[in-house]
Structure 1
């Protein structure tokens, strides 16, 4: 019962912190991290210990899955080269160099242990970065790059942590063993993810009940992770591959009701998990400080070295990866040369988060390592890196982007593209209406024609002046007042006993759907 109470309290605090962040105009992860830090030192507050399984199975898979579901495959494919350079090349580069520098500072600690910590802190987390990027209007290519990097760098880091941990515990590690592990772990995860996606796609195509569709979607990342762990393959790769495939196919597999319902469910889960995980990071500080056996000077030096290393190395990597690659004619012909501010912003958007939290908890216990190693120090450094990058880089990223002028307003271009495609869609809809209107009442045909034309006009009106009310805006305003009146009549009828509760529920659902559609049209 006590664990349930703690969970409820965490969720309540996470929701309250997110609400406060939105009201103040801050990014929720930053507010929740600070709240966790403050609460961790409140006298009498019970310590909350984070188990590795909670993060690896309960938190990380659904976060990766929903991110993959929402990722555009065409945009991802167009940015594949820079994404792989960051998600694979930069992670390996950061892990090796950071590990080597840490070994120079702590020569008594095995190099494999230092590389393992380097891999733990190497992958940035895009939750806070993309939240800030969208809020301040960073170019869409930068947002896509950060999202794509965060989807793939997790697998690279966790594979490196597993290999380095194997060397640390005495397992034979050579080029042959590393190659075999990469093929088995990453390749197996790729195959498993694709196989799982095909099976789940088949289930979605057969299911007609929206509740069952939701259940299958919710279970998918957890089932994939469990199977991947049993097969000793990469659960991260499997979940991401499954999410990318299904996200691209969902418009063809699910009914409209299932898509709307599933979107709402995943948005809620994503909101709660992101809030809880950053709150948990802050709440761990008191326990980490209490368990720390390494002296203060060494702790500060190691933390400062790792933080400086991951920040500087990301800059060192970004500029050659951005500009030297464009010396290749094929790359230069396909990709525009970005301004200097773009790689600078991407380099500064290196906040760490969930993946670092998950990875550090997988480090082997001290008693499994011949001669031991300072695991308490490594865990503290990893958590400190999460806190420092979020508080320093997270709070200053908007300022850096503004100073460098790395901003992009795509609202007009998006509205123009939408209007052009909507016009094409309207013509197709009207053609379908004409082809199938035989025998239908004229009033029905004219009503459907008016709806199609209204949608077409609304898309073009969004390109016009915002100073006066457009016909579509007037329609939305007046229809909303009509819906309010209808809803009021149904409620009175229910209260007076003239209709049962089921009738009110059905009518209210229809009115709610229509009103939500009006709100989406205005937001667009």
Structure 2
């Protein structure tokens, strides 16, 4: 027991250290964690072994749900053409290409077994892509496509994977059966997610306690996944659907305090679970490599090479070939609004991760009558592909974006936020005037409220003016809004010191101190950047 606790603490320490090192040196935290855990497996002591049930049932649902909460349902709908192309059609194409290549270099391997591996490796991993993408910075429309693809492609891949595995152990593997199974799983998953979102939405409308809200939020991905899995429909799609709907409705469902609390909770969950899955990937090294000792080196290298090549080249060709079409045929492209540089960046964003490994580890070692053919070699092919794409693409994704000049338009995003803040302040002033017409509000109180709203409006207008002024024409070292944020932070820090002094001298209890500090923390969080 003590050894397990010590190992858990070491894992948490590695996750935190990797996050700090990534921020300090600009390296992807997933790559650092995979490297550290791979080295750790070579040392004496306990190791983590990948349990597919734990990963697919306990780890992946909350990570996908968190990603769905922060995604935009409207933006995904606006980019639905590209999202479906990547999350459905490309997944199927990748599974078939990888399956065909493996059959060509692995004599005796059934096509269904090869397609099972291809389906497992077809979807870029949501955890890997979003974790690295958040750090390197992406334009909004490219980020939306990657998020939408990552959220939806697992349902396609796992459905095709299930059908392929069933075919190996005796069920039919024909096109009508695959299409029927996919439609049932997808539509059932979406319906299940909508039902869970509606039920929990009704419950959360009646709860205003932030801690209870966060508890329900943590339980939601499992409430969506488990019934869907029990009904043999897509649990992944149920989780994503529930997350997208509830995230879209958060304004109506949650109070401001509940949103702040839930955001902090999910950031912690993301940090720990993302770190855990990357540690698991690295720790499988010592379990997989010895298992291929019975195969010749040529067979191992050929199988690993065609698997990796099939995964990378299929994605690249799928995205880049439409660019070569004549202009009059460009409308046939599923992503005509993306530039060639953005498509090249998108083709290099397909890191594979723990979902692929968990699916391949779930391949049955044997059944009552059938032993899954060449399972150990398929495991090695999957692990080598995950390792190469995660480390190789993860380390080079940021430099590639910089070389291509594909960066987010930060100025435009800030301009939109400044305009939105101005409009929101004006809406608040209109609401105040309307209230004054219908109920008596003391002039002093109305004046305070009016000045606060007008001050927020003026700060937003100052930011907008600064953003619209060319850099070479700006003469002020900082805008009035930046000055306001900097000075108010200094004031808040002095107020915190005074509250601390009151507590230390016994004039204020710890409970009251935490309450007053929470008020200051929320105000500081709402300040403009200094």
Report deviation, 1:176: 4.2
Partner of 2:47, secondary structure, is: coil
What CA distance in whole angstroms lies between the structure 1 residues aligned with 2:127 and 2:223? Answer: 24
Deviation at 1:347, TM superposition (A): 1.0
TM-score (norm 1): 0.93
Alignment of 1:116-515 (within 5 A): 116-295=116-295, 296-321=297-322, 327=328, 337-367=337-367, 370=370, 372-408=372-408, 410-437=409-436, 438-463=439-464, 464=466, 465=474, 467-515=476-524
The answer to whether the 8 A contact 2:330-2:336 is kept is no
**Match of residue 18 from structure 2:** 17
- Displacement after TM superposition at 1:184 (Å): 2.7
Residues in 2 aligned to 1:30 and 1:284: alpha-carbon distance in whole angstroms:
15
Aligned length: 518
- Structure 2: distance between partners of 1:58 and 1:337: 37
Q: Which residue of 1 aligns with 2:525?
A: 516
TM-superposed deviation, 1:132? 4.2
Q: Distance in 2 between matches of 1:190 and 1:46?
A: 40
Instruction: Give distance in 2, aligned partners of 1:298 and 1:83.
Output: 36
Q: Tell me, yes or no, if the aligned pair for 2:63 and 2:127 is still in contact at 8 Å.
A: no
- TM-superposed CA distance for 1:329, in Å, is 8.7
Mapped contact 2:112–2:173 kept (Cα < 8 A): no
CA distance in 2: counterparts of 1:479 and 1:490, whole angstroms: 16
Q: Describe the superposition over 1:12-62 as per-residue Cα deviations: whole angstroms up to 9, x where unpaired.
A: 2111122111111111111111111211212x1223211111100111101
The 1-side partners of 2:254 and 2:521 are apart by: 21
CA change 1:190–1:368 in 2 (3 A) is: farther
- Matched with 1:67 is 67
Distance 2:326 2:76 in 1: 18
- After superposition, give the CA deviation of every residue in 1:60-106 in whole Å (9 maximum; x if it has no partner): 10111011111111111111001110110111001001101101111
Within 1, Cα distance between the matches of 2:278 and 2:435?
54
Point out the more displaced range, 505-514 or 229-238. Answer: 505-514
* Structure 2: gaps spanning 5 or more residues: 467-473
* Partner SS, residue 249 of structure 2: helix
Q: Give 1:360 deviation, angstroms.
A: 1.4
**Partner Cα distance (1:365, 1:327) in 2:** 52
Q: Distance in 1 between matches of 2:477 and 2:414?
A: 18
Change in Cα spacing, 1:90 to 1:511, as seen in structure 2 (3 Å) is same
Query: Any idea what the Cα deviations from partners look like across 1:144-188, whole Å, max 9, x if unmatched?
Result: 111111011111110011000000111233344323322332221
Distance 1:177 1:130, change over 3 A: closer
- Local SS of the residue matching 1:366: coil
Partner of 2:81: 81
Distance 1:371 1:477, change over 3 A: closer
Larger mean CA deviation between 283-292 and 192-201 belongs to: 283-292
**Alpha carbons 2:34, 2:282 under 8 Å: kept:** yes
How far 1:372 sits from its partner (Å)? 3.9
Worse overlay, 472-481 or 343-352: 472-481
| Equivalent pair of 1:294/1:377 in contact (CA under 8 Å) | no
Q: What is the SS of the residue equivalent to 1:462?
A: helix
RMSD over equivalenced CA pairs, Å:
2.3
Contact 2:82 2:335 in 1 (8 A): no
Task: Supply the distance in 2 between the matched residues of 1:509 and 1:247 (Cα, whole angstroms).
Answer: 25
CA distance in 2, matches of 1:355, 1:105: 25
Is the contact made by 2:76 and 2:144 (CA closer than 8 Å) also made in structure 1? yes
**1: distance between equivalents of 2:460 and 2:330?**
40
In structure 1, C-alpha distance between the alignment counterparts of 2:285 and 2:261, rounded to whole Å:
38
**1:24-103 equivalences in 2 (<5 Å):** 24-42=25-43, 44-103=44-103
Contact 1:116 1:161 survives alignment (8 Å): yes
Any gaps of 5 or more consecutive residues in structure 1?
none
Tell whether the 8 Å contact from 2:91 to 2:157 is kept in structure 1 after alignment: yes
Does the 8 Å contact 2:91/2:119 carry over to 1? yes
Partner of 2:470: none
The 8 Å contact of residues 357 and 382 in structure 2, kept in 1 or not, is answered as yes
TM-superposition CA deviations, 1:286-340 (whole Å, max 9, x none): 12123334423322221111111111111121124566597569779x9765332
Distance 1:503 1:320, change over 3 A: same
Q: Which moved more, 1:460-469 or 1:225-234?
A: 460-469
Alpha-carbon contact 1:146-1:346 (below 8 Å) kept: yes
Please tell me whether the aligned partners of residues 186 and 233 of structure 2 are also in contact (alpha carbons under 8 angstroms).
yes
In structure 1, distance between residues paired with 2:358 and 2:71: 22
